[in-house]
Amino acid sequence: SIMDAAEDLRYAEYARAPTAAGKGQAELNRGLARTVIAVGLGVATVAFAGRYAFHLWKPLEQAVTETAKRISTS
């Protein structure tokens, strides 16, 4: 009837809001997932680089100390 149509029109904006909000939420979740993946890859990269640098540091440290001893004795 006319009253039902008027009622539907009155609350039409509220009826449409959840679908728009749901779409926004999905976009937010995708963005959050991308951010979490990017942060995880960044942390893994830093960890591997640190490990590589640590392995390089041992022989490098010995070379630096030997050079420092040579300089101080001469």
Q: What is the predicted pLDDT for the residue at 17?
A: 52
pLDDT digits (tens, 9 = 90+) for 2-27: 666 666 666 555 555 555 555 678 88
% pLDDT > 70, the chain: 68
Torsions phi, psi for 17 (to 5 deg): -60, -45
Q: How far apart are CA 65 and CA 50, in angstroms?
A: 22
pLDDT at 69 over 80: yes
Domain span holding position 26: 2-72
The model's pTM? 0.47
How does the average pLDDT of the chain come out, rounded? 79
**Domains in the chain, number:** 1
DSSP letter for 10, please: H
State whether residue 43 is helix, strand or coil. helix
